[in-house]
Amino acid sequence: MRRVAITGMGVVSPIGNDMETFRKNLLEGVCGIDYITRFDPEEYKVKIAAEVKDFRITDHVDKSEARRMDLFTQYAVVAAKEAISQSCILGTVEPEKFGVYIGSGIGGMDTLVNTMDRFRAGGPRKVSPLFIPMMISNMASGNIAIQYNAMGPCLPVVTACATSSHAIGEAYRAIRFGYADAIIAGGTEAAINCLAVAGFTNSMALSTRNIPNDSSIPFDARRDGFVIGEGAGVVIMEDYEHAKNRGAKILGEIVGYANTCDAYHITAPHPEAEGAANAIRLALEEAGYTKGVKLYYNAHGTSTPLNDKVETLALKKVLGEDGAREIYISSTKSMTGHMLGAAGAVEAIACLIALETGEIPPTIGYKELDPECDLNYTPNVKAKVDVEMAVSTSLGFGGHNAVLVIRKGDR
C-alpha cells in the first residue's frame, strides 16, 4: 500500500478566499459571521450567517462559463485552481490516473430556488435547459475534471456535514490502493438562501442569538445552535513517492481515515458517542498514534447543545480522561460558521496550517464553561505548540462519521 501526500491547498471561505488570507485570519481569530445580505431576513428568527465576501467568479473564468455554474460549483472551481497552482501537479500524472473527489452536501440549491421562482411566475417554458446540470451535486467534480482533463476516478461524495472529509478519505484509499496516482479532493457548499435558512431554522439546528461575534460558540455553555456558512476547500493528494520524485513540497501526509455510522437518528448524534468514538479510534489506530505524540484535534464543534458534549465524550472514550485533557483542541467553526459539505475539507486545511506553523487556531467567543465540555478547547487565542499529528472529525446528519489523521509534511 502506498503513502499519500498532500501537495496543494485552496480555499474559499467566510474568512478569506485564498490561502494567505485564510491562514492569517484563522490564526488571528477573525470572525467571518455577520448579518445576512443574500436575502431579506426580516421575517426570520435567524438573521446572521457566515457568507463568503468579495467573491468574483469572473476573476477566474469567463462570463459565459460562469453562467453555467451554480455558486457551489464556482466556489469549488476557484479553490481547485489555487490548489492546482500550489501543487504544480499538471502534466506529471497520466489523465487516466488523475481523479476528482469533490462533494457537496446540498448541491445547487440557489439554482433550485431561483428556477422555482421563475417557474411559478412564467410556467415551464421559463425553466432553463441548464437547470439540471447546474443543480445536481456532481457538477463541481464534473466541471473540475473537464477543466484539468482528469479522466480517472470521479466521485462526488454526499454525506451531509461529513461530505468533504469522506471525499478526502475515499481519495486517500483510492491512491493508497493504486486506483489513482493523484486526486483533486474536497468539498463545496453555497446554501445561504431563503429556503435553506428557513429549513435549518425550523429544524431547531441554527443559533437564534443573532449576535455575529457571539453565536457560533462551540463548547460554551451558552451555545444554542450552529451558524450556517459556505465556501469550498480543496486539496491535491498524490502518491507520496510520486510527489517526492518530482520535487513537490509535501504539505502533509494522510495517515489515517475512518468512516462509521451512528445508525441512531436522522439528525441527533448517538448520546453515548458510539459511532464517533469508533471512527476516532479506528483512524488513530491506522495512523499508528501512540500516547505521547503531540496531537491537535480539529473538532466538528458545531456549537449545538448535543454535538459538543457528545464529541467531548467521544474523545474521553478513545483517549481516556487524562489523555483527552493532554491534546490540543479547537473548533474553527467559531470563525467560519458551519460550512456544511465544505466544512471537513476546510478544517483539514486548518490542520495542515497548524502542523506547518506550530500554531493551534483558537476557538473564539468562548466565555462560559460547560461542565460536560471540560477539555482544552484553545479559548480565544491561538496556542504555540509544535504538534506532530492532527485529527479532523466531521459528523453529519444521518449519523455519518468521518475522521482524518494527518502527519506533518516536509519542513
Q: Pick from 363, 392, 353: which is nearest to 165 by CA? A: 392
- Which amino acid is residue 176, in one-letter code? R
Q: Pick from 223, 221, 191: which is nearest to 207 by CA? A: 223
Angle between helices 71-87 and 109-122 (to 10 degrees): 150
Task: Write the CB contacts of 253 (distance below 8 Å, at least 6 apart in sequence).
Answer: 3, 4, 5, 6, 240, 406, 407, 408, 409
- Which amino acid is residue 347, in one-letter code? E
Q: Look up cell 461542565; give the residue.
A: 371
Tell me the β-bridge partners of 189.
231
Alpha-carbon distance of 408 to 411, in angstroms, equals: 8
Residue 72, CB-side half-sphere exposure with 13 Å CA sphere:
35
Helix, strand, coil abundance in the chain, percent, nearest 5: 40, 20, 40
Alpha-carbon distance of 306 to 303, in angstroms, equals: 9
Handedness of CA 308, 309, 311, 316 (dihedral sign): positive
Q: Compute the residue count for the chain.
A: 411
- Which amino acid is residue 195, in one-letter code? L
Catalytic residue list: 161, 300, 338
Tell me phi and psi for residue 339, to 5 degrees. -85, 15
